[in-house]
Amino acid sequence: MASNGVLLLFTFIHISIGHADFINVEVRAENVGKYGQQSLLECVYIPSQEAEDGKLLWVHWKKEFVDILFFHQGNTKAESRYSFAEPSWNTANRNVSLLITNTSVKDEGEYTCEMETERGHGIKKSRLRVTAKYNKPAIKFDPQTSTLMCESDSGYPKGQLRWFDEFGTEWTKSSEMEVDKTESGLFNLSRRNQEKGGDRTTKVVAPLVVIGSLVWSRGDHQPVDTCDSPVEQGEDQSCPDSPA
């Protein structure tokens, strides 16, 4: 009985050593993808010297616990728009990075890159943040209602429109902002500025150069796009190209 116990203990130790994690997985923790374009999530595994001869058994990519790409026993299965970044990838290639085509807002989130070799197991998480540049703001003044309006659409994440006059005075607090989320997940923004009485808006706002400043809704208020456009009564003004 004692000899059997020693044999079982030896077998357990042997199996544990054989499956030790002798591979290091390298990923980029934070990735930025542009809406409608390709996005790359890098993942490369590097075996130690003891595991150089370990054959790759499987590779698994998940997005928030949902399977999106799986390689096992020579077969690769993947959801639409997902593939290995290397076009001619095979088990000899240790670059198992993920390629996403036609990136959408729903692709944003946490991803897991996991693999198993004969000599070890590796797993790392990576995050994708999606951005879409807002269209240049369009400005319009309605003299009948003394309303100044600025609109910008098809952007992500949710941003903020801010008003400044040529003297650097901010008018944002005196205006109302509307946010519309489209089916694709992109945002349309509009902000209206209406002065009580109307005369002051017509006399002061119309001649001024108004800056429609589009700002991410984050604490640092990092500008994404700005434009300078004179506002004429009743006329649509699209912001010109920003100076180089």
Tens-digit pLDDT profile for residues 218-243: 333 333 343 333 333 333 333 333 33
Same domain assignment for residues 118 and 202: no
Pick 202 or 29 by higher pLDDT. Answer: 29
Distance separating alpha carbons of residues 172 and 192, to the nearest angstrom: 9
More confident residue, 202 or 81: 81
Beta bridge partners of 205: none
Distance CA 181, CA 198 (A): 31
The separation between CA 204 and the C-alpha centre of its own chain, rounded to angstroms, equals 41
The structure tokens listed for 158 are 């949710």
The total of structural domains in the chain comes to 2
13-22, 118-127, 184-193, range with the lowest pLDDT:
13-22
CATH number of the domain that residue 196 is part of: 2.60.40.10
Is the predicted pLDDT of residue 88 greater than 60, yes or no?
A: yes
Pairing of strands 30-34, 120-131: parallel
Residue with the bigger pLDDT between 199 and 95: it is 95
Question: Poorest-confidence range of 38-42, 103-107, 192-196?
Answer: 192-196
Instruction: Clarify whether residues 103 and 176 are in a common domain.
Output: no
Q: Determine the pLDDT at residue 21.
A: 56
Average pLDDT rounded to a whole number, residues 21-41:
92
Give which of 121, 102, 95, 99 is closest to 111, Cα–Cα: 99
pLDDT higher than threshold 60 for residue 216:
no
Do both 200 and 108 map to the same domain? no
Establish if 14 belongs to a structural domain.
no
Residue 208, both tokens = 């001024």
Is there a domain that residue 193 lies in?
Answer: yes
Does residue 12 sit within a domain?
no
Percent of the chain with pLDDT over 90: 43
Tell me, yes or no, whether 114 and 43 share the same domain. Answer: yes
- 27 with 53, same domain: the answer is yes
Q: Is residue 93 included in any domain, yes or no?
A: yes
The whole-number pLDDT of residue 195 equals 63
The answer to whether residues 36 and 55 belong to one domain is yes
At residue 15 the predicted structure's pLDDT band, cuts being 50, 70 and 90, is very low
Same domain flag for 174 and 121 = no
87 and 170 fall within a common domain: no
Boundaries of domain holding 118 = 21-131
| Cross-strand pairs, 191 | 150, 177
- Other beta carbons within 10 Å of 231: 21
Q: Residue 192: what pLDDT?
A: 85
Answer for the pair 225, 240: CB distance below 8 angstroms, yes or no.
no
Residue type, 242: S
Residues 176 and 213 grouped into a single domain: yes
